[in-house]
Amino acid sequence: MIPENVVELLQVMVRCDTVNQSVSGVLKAEQRLAEILKGIAEEMGFETRYLPVDDGQADQLLVTYQVGEGKPWVWFDSHMDTVSVAGMTIEPFGGEIKDGKMWGRGTCDTKGTGACMLWAMHAYKQSGCAENNIALLFSIDEEEGMTGIRSFVRKDYEAIGIEPVGFVVGEPTKCEPIVRHNGVFRGEVWTYGKAAHSSEPENGVSAISAMARLLLKIEGEYIPTLNARDELTGKAQMSMNKILGGESLNVIPDACLAYVDRRLVPGEKAADAFREFEAFVADYTKREDEGLNYELKMTLAVPGMDAGEDERLLRGIQGVCEELGVRNEGLGVAYATHGGYLRETGQSVVVIGPGDIAQAHTKDEYVELEQIELGMKLYLGIMKAEMG
């Protein structure tokens, strides 16, 4: 059944629990929402198909509307998964409307963009406009491994055979166009020791103590050397945001794990940055901690993004923004999105959508209903824009 309006569509989406399966432990966390959206899109008159990813993961959903052969394609993307609901102070799956806002997990990041995109397709079809062909990907696993978009770029994109003017990535940007963003590599730092009873610590080697020494060196000597900078996205960064170690209060720990997060400005390569990090740790152990037993692993690499050389999509978006009274200059942000992977297709990418990133992932996440209305108008305008 087609909802009455874009707000009702967003409520349907928010009321479907799609917490990322790496956090929830629920396999195929986005599958039920994909099924719901598939049914709605087909009732609207669109072609749909599932794009399988890997065993144990939900399918991605492709929705297409072709108005004519030879017409330009504009491709939209919005991820279905959300972060955890732990610690939330509101009903995470209620979709409650109060004070001109909709409240719940994913309202802002980023079911709001997905609802606006699909409803804009519905309005575009009803308008009779035939300026562009439209494709919409409802993707999975953006919040953790980005396995969905990687599968799409490396397996599905060429097989589908649609070469768009560019990709519009839905993220909460207050409907302002993002043309550059940073990438990231995430890694594991392991230190190893020797277990012993805590009553005789001299018989063991504490992996936690070794990690403490290493992290102090990383923070004090390595991070200050990160001087790569981009005029729109800021400077390169690194932080250690999670640490695990020890199994019992009376055992000297023989292993400790710290997770590192390295933000890459556009132009930096994850492999090069990881090699530099490896070289620093190797030099430190040789100079100051020769007995340190450690291991470094890179677990995720997400490329940074620029808009690309083909400016047709950006010009079209900027024209719509101007008509709507929204800031239309190309901006940069420090976070990463699907845009970095989509640029690997060789096509232009712009990240844009309703909502404010300040509300994403918060304990009382919400989106302004005015932003949802603006986002729907924005995406409809993009679909109608001349892309020649």
Q: What is the pLDDT of residue 55?
A: 77
Q: Is the pTM of this model over 0.85?
A: yes
Asked: is 6-181+304-384 a CATH 3.40.630.10 domain? The reply is yes
The answer to whether the beta carbons of residues 305 and 166 sit under 8 Å apart is: no
Six-digit token string for 8: 């009702």
Q: Can you read off the two tokens belonging to residue 379?
A: 């995406």
What would the CATH number be for the domain defined by 183-302?
3.30.70.360
Could you report the per-residue pLDDT of 83-139, keeping only the tens digit for each?
A: 999 999 999 999 999 999 999 999 999 999 999 999 999 999 999 999 999 999 999
Quick: pLDDT tens for 25-58: 999 999 999 999 999 999 999 999 999 998 789 9
Q: What is the DSSP letter of 58?
A: P
> What's the confidence (pLDDT) of residue 289?
92
144 near 42, Cβ under 8 Å? Answer: no
- Among 86, 89, 95, smallest CA distance to 15 is for 95
Q: What pairs with residue 64 in β-bridges? A: 47, 135
The residues of the chain scoring below 70 in pLDDT are none
Q: Which residues pair with 296 in a beta bridge?
A: 189
Write down the pLDDT at residue 388.
73
The first and second tokens of residue 145, run together, are 């491994």
> So what's the pLDDT on residue 54?
84
| Domain boundary assignment for the chain | 6-181+304-384, 183-302
pLDDT for 381 = 99
Q: Which two tokens stand for residue 160?
A: 């589908």
Which residue is associated with the tokens 């800031």?
Answer: 327
Cα–Cα distance measured from residue 93 to residue 61, given in angstroms and rounded to the nearest whole number = 22
User: In this predicted structure, what is the pLDDT of residue 56?
Assistant: 84
CA dist 162 and 139 (Å) reads 17
CB 355 within 8 A of CB 170: no
